[in-house]
Amino acid sequence: MSETSWSPSSWQSRPVSHQPRYPSAAALAAALEELRGRPPLVTVGEIENLKSQLAEAAAGRRFLLQGGDCAESFVDCNPDAIAAKLKILLQVSVVLLHGLRRPVICAGRLAGQYAKPRSAETETRGATTLPSYLGDLVNRPEFDQAARTPDPRRLLEGHDRSAQTLNYIRALLDGGFADLEHPENWDLEFARHSPLAEEYRAIVAGIGDSVSLMAQGRAEFFTSHEALLLHYEETQTLWDARRERWYLGSTHFPWIGMRTADPAGAHVEFCRGIANPVGVKVGPGFDAGRLTNVIEALDPDGEPGRLTLITRFTSS
């Protein structure tokens, strides 16, 4: 397929997997139409900034740290939970900055990691079989028919929760939460009892030298999530007239999981047309031929910062 034939909906002509089966097509269409009218969660400038930093990481001048939950939950969209996750990522970035003496790119699986693929579409307990729990963006974990039925209105709630999370993270950063000159403000309660607590305090005490060396007093933060539910992601694409490129506005750094990294499939088709930096999870069972085809589809021109391979050390 030529580059000019791509569109935000061209993925619909490809084989697609791990998508919910909504009981009402009309309800899904209504939710998607509402999502299309909402502003993006991230800006094109932020996305391009991340891509340029990833290009520097590929050249050995930066280090990429990506971390967060396998799947976020709506109930954890609260100030304490968000701040705690951000603190952990910033603590790790401080240790890396101190040890590597180079800037650290901090990408959190936050503000959008609400969907998860499952190995089976259904779950059976005793004599009852229900749809699998596919993440809060789709249904609820309780094992009953009402909770497990995919609800398209949850796509709207997921967008709301993502916006709330991202807004709070930005407020924390703007308020000096990530000021590397005061990393003592990031202490976590559980870290006080760690056998490495004293070593971490020593790093904190010496971090000023690292900050001075790197001339970097504050960390930037980028969001990342698996671009799994393609109807949702399609509504979040935006055209940038100045750059003449499509971008995904739901996250800075979308990625494709091993289950959906099919070179001829819908997820690769969707991600090949957006200009965001894209990640692909690879691990045991991901053969070289398949990986080569995925790379050629997503990054045919070898654009610096465009493609990141995320290593996975289990086959499932």
**Domains (range + CATH), the chain:** 3-311 (3.20.20.70)
Of 65, 51, 48, 93, the closest CA to residue 214 belongs to: 93
- Report CA-CA distances (Å) from 128 to 120, 122, 132, 146, 231: 15, 10, 12, 13, 29
Q: Map 187-256 to HEC letters.
A: CCHHHHHCCCHHHHHHHHHHHHHHHHHHCCCECCCEEEEECCCHHHHHHCEEEECCCCEEEECCCCEEEE
pLDDT by 10s per residue, the chain, length 316? 344 599 999 999 999 999 999 999 999 999 999 999 999 999 999 999 999 999 999 999 999 999 998 999 999 999 999 999 998 898 888 888 878 888 999 999 999 999 999 999 999 999 999 999 999 999 999 999 999 999 999 999 999 999 999 999 999 988 888 765 655 555 555 556 677 777 766 666 666 555 544 445 556 899 999 999 999 999 999 999 999 999 999 999 999 999 999 999 999 999 999 999 999 999 988 999 999 999 999 999 999 999 999 998 765 5
Cβ pair 278, 308 in contact under 8 A: yes
